[in-house]
Amino acid sequence: MKPVLVLLVSMAWTFTGAQHYYQGLMDYLENRLLAIEDRMQLWHEQSHRYHTELLDFKKLTAETMDGLRQEHSMLFKDLEGAGVRVDRMEREMDYVESQTSPRACVNKADKVVEQGAWALEESRGEEEEEDDWEELHSRVSDCVEIISSIRSVKILKRVGSPKGMWTRDPKSSKVYVFNGTAGDSFYQFDSVREFSRSPGVNNSRRITLPSEWTGPGSAVYNGYLYFIQQEADRDVQVVKYDLLSELVTDSAMFPLEGRASVYNLNPETIADLTADDEGLWLLYASSDSEPNISLAKMDPATLDIEQIWDTRCPRENAEAAFIVCGTVYVVYNTRLASRSRVQCVFDVNDMVISEEAPLLYFPRRYGAHTSLKYNPEEKQLYGWDDGYQIIYRLTMKRKLLV
């Protein structure tokens, strides 16, 4: 009986201990769940607060962006207005320049009268006067015209590549088109009207040369084509081609260091041949390190170099140039094409300097000129601008000496 009682007491004690153990475990788990619920409630409150703050920030950002758009629109309108005012100011400056005769820098002379005679100072003796006449007459040519303004612009058509050249022989009505920046052929039209009416260049007469021309720097003068040829690792060669017989009649080497381009904005133009009332000229850069454009007077019959000048016109940002009456006009632009302008002028007779020459702006067009070719008979420029063929009619006036 006694062992049974001891067994019952032991079982009761074990059951009571287990009950207390499980009760403590349940209390612990309940406390942990309550702590987790409190933390979740805190996270929920913080998430709600962050969401509210993000909405407020989004609203503030949207209001700020709307304000920036309005300010950008107002600034854009102000810039457009400023552009219009700048264009108007440039036209007014062009008008003022056209009404004001440029000063010149020839010494020992008063002016050129309408008959083209030189009026020397009256205070000098008769013998000294004759010496001055001989000095000035040997240095200054008979051509005494300078560009006053661009009278009108005619956009003829758009044909061919973005870069190229077209020109007209001063002694005939024929028009010549050089498409691209290099090739062994070019196109001939009987007149400007025929070229304007043609759908392209394929319907014209195609002339194939015995060698390739390099760059849009060719010139047509008195029935001959003068073009630049440069093969790899060779000097620049000026080639004279008879347009009537279709034969090369002469050529001359023109040694230059490397492949320096004469115009920084048109690196394909190794050298630029041009013709005016005075004859044939060559614009070039003597080396890559030379900052200025050089000028050479050539004999169109023999291709001999008669004289060389440093124009002091920088190559940087230059896009093209042309020559009128022995005066070089260098046209400048920017990398992001804007409005072309004549910013440097060099006269071989020292009758005009850049600071005193008329400031010429070309009307705003498509990009930058690849070439500008002057026709002395028509007083016109033949320009190639982003594939557009353009004619600029010029107004001329006399160079006056002070």
Give the model confidence (pLDDT) of 190-201 as tens digits: 999 999 998 887
Q: Comparing 277 with 293, which gets the higher pLDDT? A: 293
pLDDT of 138 > 70? The answer is no
In a 3-state reduction of DSSP, which class is residue 69? helix
Cβ neighbours for 371, distance < 8 A, ≥ 6 positions apart: 164, 165, 166, 216, 217, 269, 272, 320, 383, 384
Query: What are the structure tokens assigned to 225, written together?
Result: 């084509």
pLDDT of residue 350: 82
Write out the H or E segment, with its range, that includes residue 217: none
Write out the H or E segment, with its range, that includes residue 9: helix 2-99
- Lowest-confidence pick of 29-38, 114-123, 249-258, 378-387: 114-123
pLDDT of residue 267: 92
- Range 220-233 average pLDDT: 88
pLDDT of residue 286: 85
Q: Assign 298 a pLDDT band (cuts: 50, 70, 90).
A: very high
Looking from the CA of 293 toward its CB, the CA atoms found within 13 Å total: 32
pLDDT of residue 402: 42
- Range 82-87 average pLDDT: 73
The answer to pTM > 0.85 is no
pLDDT of 371 > 70? The answer is yes
Please, what is the Cα angle at 309 between 142 and 371, to 5 degrees? 85
pLDDT of 119 > 50? The answer is no
pLDDT tens digits, 179-191? 999 999 999 999 9
Do the Cβ atoms of 284 and 271 come closer than 8 Å?
yes
Tell me which residue of 392, 365, 360, 370 sits closest to 379, measured CA to CA: 392
Cβ neighbours for 120, distance < 8 A, ≥ 6 positions apart: 108, 109, 110, 129, 132, 133
Displacement of CA 318 from its chain's centroid (Å):
7
- Range 141-149 average pLDDT: 80
Tell me which residue of 94, 89, 85, 88 sits closest to 359, measured CA to CA: 94
Q: Assign 136 a pLDDT band (cuts: 50, 70, 90).
A: very low
CA distance 346 to 24: 107
For a pLDDT cut of 90, what percent of the chain falls above it? 43
Q: Comparing 293 with 88, which gets the higher pLDDT? A: 293
Give me the chain's average pLDDT, please.
Answer: 81
Write out the H or E segment, with its range, that includes residue 165: strand 164-168
Looking from the CA of 367 toward its CB, the CA atoms found within 13 Å total: 16
- Range 5-13 average pLDDT: 66
